[in-house]
C-alpha cells in the first residue's frame, strides 16, 4: 500500500505542473545539500502562504531529489520567516467566486495539493520539520505527514477549518489523530484550539520542543547526520514499516 501510494502520487499528470514549475530552480525554496542531507529554506513572503508557486516547488522536490534513491537520505525543512513556517492554503484555490487566475485551475491545484501531501507521507527520503512559527490549517496538514517534527519558541500549530464548515483535509486529520490520539484531536480540531510550545511535545504533536531555534537546529543537524550514516535500504524499509504499521488509513 505504501509504495502503491507513492507511485500513484508520482504519476500525477497536471497541466498546472507545466505552467508553474520553473526550468532553473525553485521559486519559494532555497536548497543546500551536503553529506546526503538537504536543507530546504522556505521563503514565500510575507507569510509563507501555501500558494501555487510553493505547491509547485514541493512537487518538484518530492518527485525529484526526495524520490531519488540516490538522492538525500534526510531532508530538513525550515522557514526564513520566524513567525510563519507554512501558513494556510491560498484561499483562491478553494473559492468558486474568486478563483486563481488563468491559466491556473482550481481543480488541478487542489489535486496537486493532495498529491503533494501523499508524497510527503511516502517518499523514501526522511522528512524533518523545524518549526519556529505558525503552521495552521494547511501548514499543519503538511508537517504532520512528515516523518518528524521539532519546535522552538514561536511555534504554534492548529487547524481552523471546522469554523468555516470544512475539515482538516488532505490527510491532516487522520495523521494528527495518530499523533495525539482521537480525544485530543477532537479537542483541538473541534474547539479550534492552537497548541503552543509548552503543549506540543507533551501530547506528541512534535517530537521535542526546544528553548531556542539554535538549540533545535543543532539537535536536528546531529540527528540527520546520524541518519545519513546508515545504509539507504534500512532507512527506506524502516520508514515503510513505521508508516504501514501505525499510519494506515
At 4 the pLDDT is 46
Q: What is the pTM of this model?
A: 0.88
Q: What is the pLDDT along the chain (249 residues), one digit of tens a residue?
A: 444 444 454 444 455 555 555 545 899 999 999 999 999 999 999 999 999 999 999 999 999 999 998 999 999 999 999 999 999 877 776 656 666 566 677 678 778 888 999 999 889 999 999 999 999 888 999 999 999 999 999 999 988 888 887 767 777 789 999 999 999 999 999 999 898 898 999 999 999 999 999 999 999 999 999 999 999 999 999 998 998 875 544
Taking the C-alpha atoms of residue 241 and residue 10, their distance in angstroms, rounded to an integer, is 20
pLDDT at 1: 45
Do residues 22 and 125 touch, judged by C-beta distance below 8 A? no
- What structural domains and CATH numbers belong to the chain? 2-246 (3.90.226.10)
Specify the pLDDT at position 169.
75
In this prediction, residue 180 carries a pLDDT of 94
pLDDT of residue 146: 96
Amino acid at each position: 500500500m505504501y509504495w502503491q501510494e507513492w507511485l500513484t502520487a508520482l504519476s500525477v499528470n497536471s497541466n498546472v505542473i507545466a505552467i508553474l514549475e520553473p526550468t532553473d530552480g525553485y521559486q519559494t525554496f532555497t536548497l543546500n545539500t551536503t553529506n546526503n542531507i538537504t536543507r530546504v529554506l522556505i521563503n514565500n513572503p510575507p507569510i509563507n502562504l501555501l500558494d501555487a508557486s510553493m505547491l509547485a516547488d514541493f512537487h518538484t522536490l518530492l518527485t525529484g531529489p526526495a524520490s531519488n534513491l540516490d538522492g538525500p537520505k534526510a531532508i530538513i525543512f525550515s522557514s526564513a520567516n520566524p513567525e510563519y513556517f507554512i501558513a494556510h492554503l491560498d484561499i483562491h484555490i478553494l473559492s468558486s467566486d474568486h478563483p486563481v487566475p488563468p491559466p491556473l485551475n482550481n481543480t488541478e491545484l487542489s489535486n496537486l495539493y493532495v498529491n503533494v501531501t501523499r508524497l510527503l507521507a511516502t517518499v523514501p527520503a526522511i522528512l524533518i520539520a523545524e518549526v519556529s512559527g505558525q503552521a495552521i490549517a494547511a501548514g499543519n496538514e503538511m508537517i504532520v505527514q512528515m516523518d518528524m517534527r521539532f519546535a522552538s519558541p514561536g511555534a504554534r500549530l492548529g487547524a481552523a477549518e471546522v469554523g468555516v464548515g470544512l475539515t482538516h483535509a488532505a490527510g491532516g486529520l487522520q495523521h494528527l489523530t495518530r499523533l495525539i490520539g482521537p480525544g485530543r484531536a477532537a479537542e483541538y480540531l473541534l474547539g479550534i484550539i492552537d497548541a503552543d510550545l509548552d503543549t506540543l511535545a507533551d501530547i506528541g504533536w512534535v517530537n521535542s520542543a526546544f528553548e531556542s531555534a539554535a538549540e533545535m537546529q543543532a539537535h536536528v543537524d546531529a540527528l540527520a547526520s546520524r541518519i545519513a550514516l546508515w545504509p539507504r535500504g534500512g532507512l527506506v524499509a524502516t520508514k515503510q514499516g513505521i508508516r504501514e504499521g501505525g499510519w494506515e488509513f
